[in-house]
Amino acid sequence: MSDFDLITIGAGPAGMSAARVAAEGGLRVLLLDEQARPGGQIYRNAGQTRDARAWLGAEYAAGARLVDALEHPGITARFGATVWRLDAGPRVVWSEGGASHSARAPHILLAGGAQERPVPFPGWTQPGVMTAGAAQILMKTAGMLPRDAVLAGSGPLLYLVAAQMIDAGAPPKALVETQTPRMMLRALPHLPKALFAARTLLKGLGLMARIRKAGVRRYTAATDLAADTETDGTIRFSFRSGGAQHSLTCALVLTHQGVIPSTHISRAAGIAHTWNAAQVAFKPVHDIWGATDRPGLYVAGDGAGIGGADAATAAGQLAALDILRSAGRISADARNQRAALPRATLFRARAIRPFLDAAYAPSAETLSPPDETIICRCEEITAGAVRQSVKEGAQGHRQIKTSLRVGMGACQGLMCDATVRGVLCDGKSACMGRIAPPRARTPIKPITLGELAALTNDCKETA
């Protein structure tokens, strides 16, 4: 017997909107998220922050509405709940407060979102180098503002973080952008379609205007990124731009090269994946409702392909509608009718992606960094060591992993899979698409042996 009708893994915009629609339709929903509070990363802490920290912007504050909508008798929400196994059946096993629990449901929605693409360069492992997303999380959860920071890399999030820092009175010291005029040229043919997302385009232009007005120094087409630490902790950040070598001293370097779907859980579940050349990442294969080739398993949000928060909210609603149909609560006609609005939202939100994907494509050295760069942070393995093992005959992720332990540390490859693929292919997208992602196995997040040992034949069924 099932404990719930739907288990949603991830409480970001997709998971939250799906939970609400499903619960309103009469389903019993279990919502699991490994963070302490709902919101995902985009609306991180939005339920607590409310209108405080106005510099985070109105779009962030709007996330509180999705958080509030979780107050529904049909929704059981568990936070600090890290899913580490997904079984056919389907059954979900998660770790919470040092013990494992499990629950069954005929429908599971994977809404685990995205992670930032790793941005390896010499020195990126040192304290003082973080991701731009990490800085934003510190702003959202603790009101902490980066001090004397350089923003480096590419992508809309870089501009958003810069604008938020400016509005909060802590402007970045410089913006070091890796995108080239050629990338922008390649993006131009996608501009007409992007006009369907005119509001987002205007927002982006507004961000850039604020950055210009604040007088933040900008470098473009930057290459050869490297960071060094002085004994007092000061970071010396060097790079090439405009034919010259530059060196900036700062307290923080915040890097970003876009986001990629978190596919560990969907791969471990055995769902088919496909290479998205425009986004230079794998994503799970799914239909317009988010249904996958595995019975009962749905995907929605950035974990199904990068589209942003509005697209994720709409995709969550679409998945919930099809789950309601599958559960016999609504007819296919009713589902289709109610899908019109979220589909229109999804179309508009996605219209700008081809433009953004082309304009802010990851830099060549992000995909295939120089030899001395550590690419596996856990096991401290360099790009050069990977290239050497390939020369010695290692083929594919698996053999490289066996010979070097790349991807065998605590993060289980989350921080190096993308780079190993890039190094193997010299950064060429078509080649990367042919290299199957490494197997993702249970437990997909580390748990203690003690916790495993405490499991009886069947896991402790949760109430």
Partner 1 sequence: MKIASRFQASPESGAVQFQYDGETLTAPAGIPLAAALLAHSGGFSRQTAGGHDRTAFCMMGVCFDCLVEVDGIPNTQACMTPVRGGMVVRRQIGLRRLKGGSDV
Rounded CA-CA distance 327/446 in Å is: 34
Compute, in degrees rounded to 10, the torsion defined by CA atoms 119, 124, 127, 133.
-10
Write out the binding residues for partner 1, residues 244-273 only, by CB under 8 A: 251-252
Residue among 30 and 252 whose Cβ is closer to partner 1: 252
Q: How big is the chain by its Cα radius of gyration, in Å?
A: 22
Residue among 6 and 114 whose Cβ is closer to partner 1: 114
Residue among 342 and 362 whose Cβ is closer to partner 1: 362
User: In terms of C-beta distances under 8 Å and separation of at least 24 residues, what long-range contacts does 285-289 make, across chains too?
Assistant: 288/318, 288/343, 289/318, 289/319, 289/321, 289/322
Write out the binding residues for partner 1, residues 443-462 only, by CB under 8 A: 446
Q: Report if residue 129 touches partner 1, rule: CB under 8 A.
A: yes
Rounded CA-CA distance 213/207 in Å is: 10
Q: Report if residue 125 touches partner 1, rule: CB under 8 A.
A: yes
Residue among 231 and 245 whose Cβ is closer to partner 1: 231
Q: Are 4 and 24 in contact (CB under 8 A)?
A: no
Residue among 142 and 430 whose Cβ is closer to partner 1: 142
Q: Which of 93, 97, 122 has its CA nearest to residue 105?
A: 93
Least distance (Å) from partner 1 to the CB of residue 142?
A: 4
Q: Is the peptide bond before 13 cis (omega within 30 degrees of 0)?
A: no
Stretch that binds partner 1, among 124-132, 294-302, 343-351, 355-363 (CB under 8 A): 124-132
- The 3-class secondary structure across 403-443, one letter per residue, is HHCCCCCCCCCCCCHHHHHHHHCCCCHHHHHHCCCCCCCCC
Q: Report if residue 389 touches partner 1, rule: CB under 8 A.
A: no
- How far from 198 is each of 191, 193, 195, CA to CA, in Å? 10, 9, 5
Q: DSSP character for 220?
A: -
Q: Are 230 and 247 in contact (CB under 8 A)?
A: no
Q: Report if residue 388 touches partner 1, rule: CB under 8 A.
A: no
Rounded CA-CA distance 356/360 in Å is: 6
User: Which residue from 128, 155, 305, 307 is in contact with partner 1, where contact means CB under 8 A?
Assistant: 128
Least distance (Å) from partner 1 to the CB of residue 166?
A: 14
Q: Report if residue 295 touches partner 1, rule: CB under 8 A.
A: no
The number of residues that bind partner 1 (CB under 8 A) is 45
Residue among 125 and 399 whose Cβ is closer to partner 1: 125
Residue among 210 and 377 whose Cβ is closer to partner 1: 377
Write out the binding residues for partner 1, residues 205-244 only, by CB under 8 A: 229, 231-233
User: Which residue from 17, 131, 257, 419 is in contact with partner 1, where contact means CB under 8 A?
Assistant: 131
Residue among 36 and 202 whose Cβ is closer to partner 1: 36
Q: DSSP character for 5?
A: S
Q: Are 455 and 435 in contact (CB under 8 A)?
A: no
User: Which residue from 26, 62, 88, 126 is in contact with partner 1, where contact means CB under 8 A?
Assistant: 126
User: Which residue from 11, 15, 25, 41 is in contact with partner 1, where contact means CB under 8 A?
Assistant: 41
Residue among 256 and 397 whose Cβ is closer to partner 1: 256
Write out the binding residues for partner 1, residues 167-206 only, by CB under 8 A: 170
Contacts to partner 1 by CB under 8 A: 34-36, 41, 48, 80, 98, 115-116, 125-131, 133-134, 137-138, 141-149, 170, 229, 231-233, 251-252, 377-378, 380, 409-411, 414-415, 446
